[in-house]
Amino acid sequence: MISLLNNHPAFLGLLVQSPLLCNGFISSKPLSLPTSELRNPESATLFASSIQKDSITTLLALDSDVDEDEIVETVDRAPCFDGICESTPVDGDVAAILSDTNAYDQDNIQDEASSGESHAGEAMLRLGTMTGPTVWSEFGRLSQEYDVANLGQGFPDWLPPDFAVEALVSATIDSTKQSPHQYTRTAGHPNLVKQLARRYSKHMHRTIDPMNEVSVTVGASQALYLSLQTLVKPGDEVILFEPFFDLYQNQIKLAGGTPVYVPLTFVPYCEDNEEVTGGEWILEPEKLEQAISPKTRAIILNSPHNPTGKVFNVSEMQHIANSVIAAGPQCVVISDEVYKYIVHSSPPKDELLGVGNSCPGHVHFASLPGMWDRTITVSSAGKTFSATGWQVGWCIGPSNLISPIHQLLPYVQFCASTVIQEALARTLPKADEPYEGYDSYYEYLNSKYRRKRDLLGKGLKEAGFAIPDYDRTPGGGFFIFARITPELRRALPAERMGPEYTKNPAAPGGEARLDWALCQWMAEEKGVLCIPSSPFFSREKAMEGASDEFIRVAFCKTDETIESAAKALMGVRSNEALIGSALVEANVE
């Protein structure tokens, strides 16, 4: 805000949404300031402060019909609903800030950087080479160009449960004094934050304030983004456990921070020259301790974990808690728990400290002793209710960590969809009721995913992949991180590792390695689409070959899709036999 006033005094319009609007207050105090004063940094700073203090939906407009030496503020009182104010449009013409809409791709940025001149915005510069094509754009293209069984992106290909759809329909058509089709409270629809506070009070074993300790966002991705934006400044470090969901490192960079990678260690069940097996990923405490420094601002914890399916146990979480304390009072944990209701292979009972009845097998990091005050818990509705398009997420935490998110939210969005929030508020209580022969929808969900995991796991093993043994390794989420065996390496045609295929700008470092080559070949030639593991590693580790052994396979698909994929996967293994026969014939000749 201050930067805008300092650098753009002749702007056409700015909508300022005060944090106080979230609490139901609005002011009609008139403000005006000559544009000449806006050129004075001190005046601009004071003016920006007064706007934030006084609180307000404010329209600052300057166009050809207004004296260019004066900015006139127009304030309109908003109607209140349930003690929460909802903004209404200000009468009159509203001019938007004009901005350069030129798009910048990777080549633009690199060309400008080499010439010593750049017109790209700060966000694009911070992303650097990350602005080019991605694994998602590349494999999204393959899914469109080829007839494949798509086990790539993590979204269910079935409808949400009936009670969720019915809640959405009823929220849409209900005729009430306050229409669900208009804005709601910026920090979260009152009915929804009350439901979330009720649920998390049970999970965290404490009473959570719905208005000050809950923030609703447009999906979990935005919840993560806002958490990092309110915590991180240039020079700060944020720890990631590697492999990691690729969104994390770019959001850290957008906030000006530096990702610090702590590798999880893959421990195979058995390893010899005769057999390559599955295994489990573990956190070695000393590796985390080595990464901690006074610059550590945050640690991102994701359990259940994407992409590996790992469920962090209480011992590992306690090591993380100890590291947070060792790093200093500035360090917090951002706990991404979007898969918390999908723990299909639970840890031993002695590892279930602090678990609420409605999410068996999951440990909320914030429920550990002393960690509530040091944790922002992030989650969403999409994975739980098979409704990723609803795009409703949230942050839960102490008011000192949530308040900055409330303050930033109005500058990112006015509010998440009101009708979707109302639908979710109606859905949550229904999920606790008996469903399809189970005590609750959550029990049904776990059973459903356990069966699908086993169905896909059988197909992967028959195709020659090594996978985790879920009777001995806790698992959650809806991905299998399958290990590429030597026979599958032999099945891949040699030319697929040649420069014609491996030069790929979407791959880390522009070089597709074994995992990428195998997934691309399976999509193009065998009719099944999986995701290579290299994008889930830091660029350096991927280029060193840390990702060569794994691919990520989603089982949040219909049985028909999984069965079709399993059949296609058998064609991968048969390719080794064809190559072997060709080699034998060549030797005979």
3-state secondary structure 109-143: HHHHHHCCCCCCCHHHHHHHHHHCCCHHHHHHHHH
pLDDT for 528 beyond 90: yes
Q: How many residues does the chain have?
A: 589
Rounded CA separation 76/83 (Å): 17
Q: What is the pLDDT of residue 381?
A: 96
Mean pLDDT of 178-182: 84
Distance set, CA 200 to CA 63, 193, 252, 364, 393 (Å): 48, 10, 27, 10, 14
What is the signed CA dihedral for 271, 277, 278, 279, rounded to 10 degrees?
-20
Strand-pair category, 57-61 with 258-263: unpaired
> For residues 245 and 307, is the Cβ–Cβ distance under 8 A?
yes
386 in Cβ contact with 341 (< 8 Å): no
Whether residue 185 has pLDDT greater than 80: yes
Total of domains in the chain: 3
Residues 244 and 318 in one domain: yes
Q: Are residues 445 and 351 in the same domain?
A: no
Under the banding of pLDDT at 50, 70 and 90, the label for residue 106 is: very low
* Contact between 187 and 22 (Cβ < 8 Å): yes
pLDDT (tens digit, 9 = 90+) per residue, 375-390? 999 999 999 999 999 9
For residue 230, the SS3 value is helix
Residue 212 · residue 402 · CB < 8 Å:
yes
Axis crossing angle, helix 418-431 with helix 162-173, rounded to the nearest 10: 140
Contact call for residues 394 and 379 (beta carbons, < 8 A): yes
Q: What percent of the chain has pLDDT over 70?
A: 74
Instruction: Report whether 396 contacts 209 (CB < 8 A).
Output: no
Q: Would you state the pLDDT for residue 508? A: 84
Measured CA to CA, the distance from residue 547 to residue 244 in angstroms comes to: 12
Residue 529 belongs to a domain:
yes
Q: Phi then psi for 73, rounded to 5 degrees? A: -100, 135
Share of the chain above pLDDT 90, in %: 61
- Are both 364 and 454 inside the same structural domain? no
Q: pLDDT band for 279, please (50, 70, 90 cuts).
A: very high
- For range 142-165, the mean pLDDT: 94
pLDDT in tens, 437-489: 999 999 999 999 999 999 999 999 999 999 999 988 889 999 999 999 999 99
Q: List Cβ neighbours of 343 (8 Å cut-off, separation of 6 or more).
A: 304, 311, 359, 360, 361, 362, 446, 474, 475, 476
* One domain, residues 487 and 393: no
How many angstroms separate the CA atoms of 341 and 477, rounded?
Answer: 8
**What CATH number did the domain enclosing 309 receive?**
3.40.640.10
**Residue 227 covered by a domain:** yes
- Mean pLDDT is lowest, of 55-59, 69-73, 382-386, for 55-59
pLDDT, average across residues 190-208: 96
* Arithmetic mean of pLDDT, 253-281: 90
Examine the domain organization and report whether 307 and 390 are in the same domain.
Answer: yes
Six-digit token string for 168: 């959405």
- Strand-pair partners of 58: 16
- 231 and 358 in a common domain: yes
Q: Name the residue range of residue 359's domain.
A: 217-266+277-423
- The beta strands (E) that lie in 303-392 are given as 332-336, 375-380
The confidence score (pLDDT) of residue 348 equals: 60
DSSP 200-212: HHHHHTS---TTT
Whole-prediction pTM:
0.78
Spatial distance between the Cα atoms of 453 and 467, rounded to a whole number of angstroms: 11
Residue 165 lies in a domain: no
**Of 531, 515, 504, 523, the residue nearest 133 (C-alpha):** 504
Q: 289 with 403, same domain?
A: yes
Q: What is the CATH number of the domain that holds 466?
A: 3.90.1150.10
Q: For residue 42, is pLDDT > 60?
A: no
Mean pLDDT of 93-101: 27
Statement to judge: residues 327 and 292 lie in one domain: yes
**Residue 237 lies inside a defined structural domain of this protein:** yes
Contact 344, 358 (CB under 8 A): no
With tokens 């934050």, the residue in question is 193
Instruction: Tell me the per-residue pLDDT of 298-310, one tens digit each, with 9 for 90 and over.
Output: 999 999 999 999 9
Domain assignment present for residue 73? The answer is yes
Q: Are residues 448 and 417 located together in one domain of the fold?
A: no
Q: Chain-centre distance of CA 445, in angstroms?
A: 21
432 within some domain: no
For residues 319 and 290, membership in a common domain is answered with: yes
Q: Measuring CA to CA, which residue among 422, 356, 416 is closest to residue 392?
A: 416
pLDDT band for position 244 (50/70/90)? Answer: very high
Residue 91's CB: how many other CB atoms inside 10 A?
A: 9
For residue 250, what is the DSSP state? Answer: H
φ, ψ of residue 391 to 5 degrees: the values are 55, 55
For residue 270, the model assigns a pLDDT of 86
Q: What average pLDDT score do residues 179-190 get?
A: 93
The pLDDT mean for the chain works out to 80
